[in-house]
Amino acid sequence: MTETTRPSLALLGLGPMGGPMARRLLDFDGDLTIWNRTSAKAKPLVALGARAAASPAEAASDIVLTVLPDLEQVESLLPGQAGLLAGWAAKGIVRPVLVIHGTVSPTAVAAFAERLFSAHGVTVLDAPVSGGTVGAETGSLSIMVGGDEEAAKSMEPVFRAMGTTVRYMGLSGSGALAKACNQVVVAATVTALSEAMLLARSGGLDLAVMLELLQGGLADSAVLRQKGHRWLSSDFAGGGSAQNQLKDLGFILDAATKGGVELPLSRTVTALFDEMVAQGEGALDHTGIHRTLALRAQDYLQSPR
């Protein structure tokens, strides 16, 4: 990229987050290339003016944003004739920036960034987001950025098109680590509320009144306000899956080991989500951990004391 030419921009991965993020980018910069494994998802964006690429190679741009669930899927975009590396080479793009918006392992993404830069001159930024689909749709995401500081700075206008809170956290993996810290709190809050609701049920308390009391004091939280209804209705279908929560918890424990810290609470939460996923309930919303705890209670009641 030079100072006089606007860098070309592509977004790969048009899922529940990537779709609305691409729409925000179109508002910001009409010149956007998009790609998705299943091409049907590109259609509504093409109608709004986006250029659909037939392959990652065709989508290769100065800046490539990826919104994919894991690092393996990002890596799979790179090799082969249809891959990003071939595309960048064919287009003479020698210093591309590859942004990883998905929630990935802080340690794995740091290694990936180092490898990709030294082997191919690709600058990788880890830039996980929080705020959910609503944040993506309204452009009010929080974006936590790790990697080369200058590259991160040059990306700020693009990030600001999608998020209201954009923060540079440090070297490669620091964005992913900040997201991991966020997930420590989210996973524990969901589990703590599930235990509180189970204890309330065990004593015959009215759960609606209980939720109202919790909201009135120091126990209040965004999880409670956004997801309180799930414990009331016992409807845990859809939402932010337990499977993804468990994936995040794995990253948390890896990062803790690397950082030389023990996280006993996160370890307990991980064991519970492990149990939930093993029971085949990984597709439920993470608040469904309440069911796992309730099932344990039934075992407990049936076992001799």
Query: Active-site residues: which are they?
Result: 179
Binding to a second copy by residue 138, rule CB under 8 A? no
The long-range contacts involving 152-155, CB below 8 angstroms and separated by at least 24 positions, are 152/125, 154/97, 155/63, 155/97, 155/99, 155/125, 155/127
Other C-beta atoms lying within 10 Å of the C-beta of residue 79: 12
CB under 8 A: which stretch of 28-36, 40-48, 55-63, 210-218 binds a second copy?
210-218
- State the minimum distance, in angstroms, from the CB of residue 118 to a second copy: 22
- Only one of the segments 39-47, 80-88, 93-101, 190-198 lies at the binding site for a second copy (rule: CB under 8 A); that segment is 190-198
Q: How many residues bind a second copy (CB under 8 A)?
A: 76
DSSP element (H, E) containing 64: strand 63-66
Q: What is the 3-state secondary structure (H, E, C) of 136-151?
A: HHHCCEEEEEECCHHH
Q: CA 216, CA 295: separation in Å to the nearest integer?
A: 29
Tell me the closest approach of the beta carbon of residue 67 to a second copy, in angstroms. Answer: 17
- Residue 191 interacting with a second copy (CB under 8 A): yes
Asked if 202 touches a second copy (CB under 8 A), the answer is yes
Site for a second copy in 21-60 (CB under 8 A): none
Nearer to a second copy, 81 or 164 (CB): 164
**Window 157 to 176, contacts with a second copy (CB under 8 A):** 164-165, 167, 169-170, 173-174
Which of 257, 65, 68, 228 has its CA nearest to residue 162? 65
Cβ contacts of 21 within 8 Å, gap of 6 or more: 11, 65, 67, 101, 129, 136, 141, 162
User: In angstroms, what is the C-alpha Rg of the chain?
Assistant: 21
Query: CB of 292: closest distance to a second copy in angstroms?
Result: 10
- Is 217 a binding residue for a second copy by CB under 8 A? The answer is yes
Query: Does 89 interact with a second copy (rule: CB under 8 A)?
Result: no
What residues between 115 and 134 interact with a second copy by CB under 8 A?
Answer: 130-132
